[in-house]
Chain A
């Protein structure tokens, strides 16, 4: 989705702090390649929640793999994003246990509140949302994830409140 690039979008390379984290990572595995997915998580934090080409290139350099290989891995995993996402990423669980406890309503509420389609970013760059598979919190269904936080036992009112409180 084209639109305003976040500040991090212009970054060319890892920060010094991130590079230090990477060095620690490499010590954990017998191969450099094994650090690829953890490195991509770090890169996503550095580049504002997604992986523009510059991020992929930086990871490829650090892990010493061809960029094509890195792309291949990125496209396999649901938590790694090749396209721009909102500053806040919302994942609404709609798998069976959450569906039985009302995830339709939760999905619909988010859609109405944000007024964009799934995988689109709100014009102010604030939010994007997707339906998601089971997040391992079915005892507190219906639920959704906003960035790293779980929000459980949701109601439409609660969803509106949570979205309203996001910066």
Chain B
């Protein structure tokens, strides 16, 4: 797996990527590992929450919600069990950063989970990992085993008397299980169909108990915040609302696809440079900044900063920071049709607008791509999108609309040309694997 940290930025989350010794507990400890946990255990749980809140850390899984604020929603007091569910489902197309964190630095994640559990006084963590990540799962299992043997997990975490169990839980192939309430259903042994909110998981989550759900990368930040302080964390990034280090997973038409760590808010054009520029000297046509659910941006928006607020202002979103790059040989209709196929396959089917709408989006875009589009199809696409917004239970429906809506807005001529010419103007043989030329 390719990966690299940027030139100027001193890596935080990926500092152990080139250091296989950190896979072992000893190696991890040599680099200061588990000092954050030891420090946190000497603090009041609420003080840990306050520090994380003050750092401005926002969720790295997609929605960008403040981690500290989320933790503060967990009811106080003993008696009832509480849970942490770490979201390692990582199924958003284009996203591969959490896999890197788990495969290269498993103890960093365990430490982040343990600190979170202390802060909210939860005694069990389930790391819900997508079923396909069997190697990452094995690395995590091994690290967890070592942590138990060393008394970092178990009946008395680092001798503090605080009890904590951490378990890996393997999913079975369903994107919707990345949605937090779908994940809880799946963890409980059911079909991963999202629940109606409220109640929110902080009140009624896994097994009916208060539950924190955080992404892998979010939790990996936590030990560093505890050790180096909220002020250090806030000094990195664009502004008060966009703080800390960030992993960007860049793919598609770039020379060196991979995971790059920089301060949050690197402009897209600079990230592209880090990734070696355009593949085989191609010309940038478009990029998707935050996974399949984010609206497409165009080459004239390459200067934009990849942070939460800049992306939202531009009508897209940072999402999982999966940056997919397309050169001018790319057919946008075909690209978006592929994403529509994904959403149609992954809709859990319990809301009619989403189940029917995702089906229509795939059908319409596929027929346009195949030269069978009809003159009214762009209108029809628009009306399907409109009917899916705000009418379904979870965010998948709106996610499916994101790329389609931006296709119609930013590439109307390309859509029209497909319909007028009754054919795709881009020869498909242009999509070459690495070996061909």
Residues of A within 8 A of B (CB): 28-31, 33-38, 40-41, 63, 65, 72-73, 76-80, 91, 94-97, 99-106, 133-142, 145, 148, 150, 152-158
Interface status of B421 (Cβ within 8 A of chain A)? no
Across-interface contacts of A36 in B (CB, < 8 A)? 189-190
Closest 8 CB pairs of A and B: A155-B435, A102-B433, A78-B173, A36-B189, A77-B172, A79-B173, A138-B251, A97-B251
Across-interface contacts of B98 in A (CB, < 8 A)? 136
Which B residue sits closest to A155, measured CB to CB? Answer: B435
Across-interface contacts of B330 in A (CB, < 8 A)? 100
Interface stretch, picked from B110-118, B132-140, B411-419, is B132-140
Q: Is the CB of B335 within 8 A of A96?
A: yes
Within 8 A of A (CB), among B128-173: 130-135, 165, 167, 169-173
How many residues of B are counted as interface, with CB atoms below 8 angstroms from the partner's CB atoms? 65
With A76-B174, A77-B173, A141-B257 as contacts: A101 and B428 at CB distance below 8 Å: no
Across-interface contacts of B95 in A (CB, < 8 A)? 134, 136, 138
Across-interface contacts of A140 in B (CB, < 8 A)? 1-2, 257
Which B residue sits closest to A74, measured CB to CB? Answer: B172
* A68 vs chain B, min Cβ distance (A): 12
Q: Is the CB of A30 within 8 A of B170?
A: no
Q: Is the CB of A79 within 8 A of B191?
A: no
Question: Which of A30, A78, A96 has the most chain B CB within a 10 Å cutoff?
Answer: A96
Not counting A33-B189, A99-B334, A141-B251, a sample of 20 additional A-B residue pairs whose C-beta atoms are within 8 angstroms of each other reads: A31-B189, A31-B207, A34-B187, A34-B207, A37-B169, A37-B189, A73-B189, A76-B348, A96-B338, A97-B324, A100-B253, A100-B324, A101-B252, A133-B91, A134-B92, A136-B132, A139-B3, A139-B259, A142-B433, A154-B433
Question: Which of A37, A100, A138, A154 has the most chain B CB within a 10 Å cutoff?
Answer: A100
Interface stretch, picked from B56-64, B230-238, B339-347, B357-365, is B339-347
Q: How far is the CA of A100 from the CA of B252 in the complex (A)?
A: 6
* B182 vs chain A, min Cβ distance (A): 10
Q: Is the CB of A105 within 8 A of B432?
A: yes
Offer 14 A-B interface pairs, CB within 8 angstroms, sorted by A.
A33-B190, A41-B131, A73-B191, A76-B192, A78-B173, A78-B174, A95-B93, A95-B342, A96-B292, A96-B339, A102-B433, A133-B91, A141-B251, A154-B434
Q: Which of B94, B130, B133, B190 contacts A138 (CB 8 A)?
A: B94
Question: Which of A30, A80, A138 has the most chain B CB within a 10 Å cutoff?
Answer: A138
* B211 vs chain A, min Cβ distance (A): 12
Q: Is the CB of A96 within 8 A of B435?
A: no
Across-interface contacts of B345 in A (CB, < 8 A)? 133
**Per-residue A-contact encoding for B229-271, CB less than 8 Å = 1, 0 else:** 0000000000000000000011111000111000000000000
Q: How far is the CA of A141 from the CA of B433 in the complex (A)?
A: 8
Residues of B within 8 A of A (CB): 1-3, 81, 90-96, 98-99, 130-135, 165, 167, 169-175, 186-192, 207, 249-253, 257-259, 288, 292, 322, 324, 326, 330, 334-335, 338-339, 342, 345-346, 348, 428, 431-436
Q: How far is the CA of A95 from the CA of B343 in the complex (A)?
A: 11
* A60 vs chain B, min Cβ distance (A): 12
Q: How far is the CA of A58 from the CA of B83 in the complex (A)?
A: 30
Across-interface contacts of B288 in A (CB, < 8 A)? 96
